[in-house]
A and B are shown apart, each in its own frame.
Chain A
Amino acid sequence: MLESLQYLLGGFAVAMTAQNLLYCFAGALVGTLVGVLPGLGPIAGIALLIPATFGLNPTSALIMLAGIYYGAMYGGSTTSILMNVPGETASVMTCVEGHKMAQQGRAGPALSIAALGSFIAGTIATFGLVLIARPLADAALAFGPPEFAALMIFAFVVLSNVTGGTLLKSLIMVVVGLILGTMGMDPVAGNERFSFDSAYLLGGIEFVAVAIGVFGIGEVLSNVAEPPEQLEQTVVVPRFRDLYPTMTDLKRSMVAILRGTGIGFITGLVPGPAPVIATYASYMVERRYAKYPDEFGHGAIEGVAGPEAANNAAAQSAYIPLFVIGVPFGPVPAILLGALLIHGVTPGPLLITESPQLFWAVVASMYIGNFILLLLNLPFVPLFASMLLIPKRVLLPLIMAFCVTGMFSVNNSVLDIWMMLVFGAIGYVLRGWAYEGAPLLLGLVLGPKLEVAFRQSLMISQGDFSIFLTRPVSSGLLLATAAFLLLPVFKAGWRRLR
Chain B
Amino acid sequence: MPSNLLSSLFPMLSNLIRGPRIDTGRVTLNRRRIYILPTRRGLFFGLLLLLLLLGSINYALSLGFVLTFLLAGLGHVAMLHTYRNLSGIQINAVAASPVFVGETAQFQVSIEAPGARPAIGLHFNRQSPAWVDLLEPGAQSVAIPLAATQRGWLVPGRFTVFTNFPLGLFRAWSYVDFGTRCLVYPRPLPSPLLLQGAHTEQGGTLNTQQEGADDFSNLREYRLGDAPRHVAWKASTKGDGLLTKQFINPGAATLWLDWQLLGDADTETRLSRLTDMVLAAERARQTYGLRLPGSEFAPGLGAAQRERCLKALALFGVGDAKS
A binds B: no
